[in-house]
């Protein structure tokens, strides 16, 4: 699985003009399931996100996690994180998980993040979503479950 994590002051997601998810200070997490991903990958990635130390401590160093700060998360599915741009000008997405598996793993990731003790709201899988955010820092981190054994 892939995740693009942004430290935010606030973020929200709309579908058909209605806000369906939002967060205050915390994380906006864009998530993509890849072919071959498993529920275990979703759980491990959620644990990494929950413990990722990207929030400022008293010395203004990135040394605290969203768990440490009591922040929340907005989790959005984004299959375009699977983009293959190695050739041509049009990205390919053939390495993304099939939609049914992608949705199941996205929901598993969000639930696993909740089980870590983080308040989580979500977007709607497969919908045309409008995402707003105020990036804090800016801090944006890329994680890929394939990068760790």
List the beta bridge partners of residue 3.
31, 143
79 is catalytic: yes
Alpha-carbon gap, residue 123 to 78, rounded angstroms: 10
Q: Which of 9, 19, 35, 80 is catalytic?
A: 80
Reply yes or no on whether 6 is catalytic: no
Active-site entry in 55, 79, 109, 122: 79
Exactly one of 6, 23, 78, 122 is catalytic; which is it? Answer: 78
- Residue 31 and residue 106: Cα distance in Å, rounded? 7
Reply yes or no on whether 35 is catalytic: no
Is 2 in contact with 78 (CB distance < 8 Å)?
A: no
Q: Which residue has the tokens 């959620």?
A: 46
- DSSP lists the bridge partners of residue 134 as 10
Residues acting as catalytic residues: 78-80
């Amino acid at each position: 699985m892939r995740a693009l994590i942004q430290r935010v002051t606030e973020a929200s997601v709309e579908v058909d003009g209605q806000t369906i998810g939002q967060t205050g200070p915390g994380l906006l997490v864009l998530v993509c399931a890849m072919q071959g991903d498993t529920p275990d990958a979703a759980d491990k990635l959620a644990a990494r996100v929950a413990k990722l130390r990207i929030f400022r401590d008293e010395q203004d160093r990135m040394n605290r996690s969203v768990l440490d700060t009591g922040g929340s998360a907005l989790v959005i599915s984004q299959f375009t994180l699977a983009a293959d741009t190695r050739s041509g000008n049009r990205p390919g997405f053939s390495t993304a998980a099939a939609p049914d598996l992608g949705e199941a793993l996205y929901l598993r990731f969000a639930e696993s993040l909740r089980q870590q003790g983080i308040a989580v709201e979500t977007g709607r899988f497969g919908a045309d979503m409008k995402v707003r955010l105020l990036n804090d820092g800016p801090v944006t981190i890329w994680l890929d479950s394939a990068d760790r054994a």
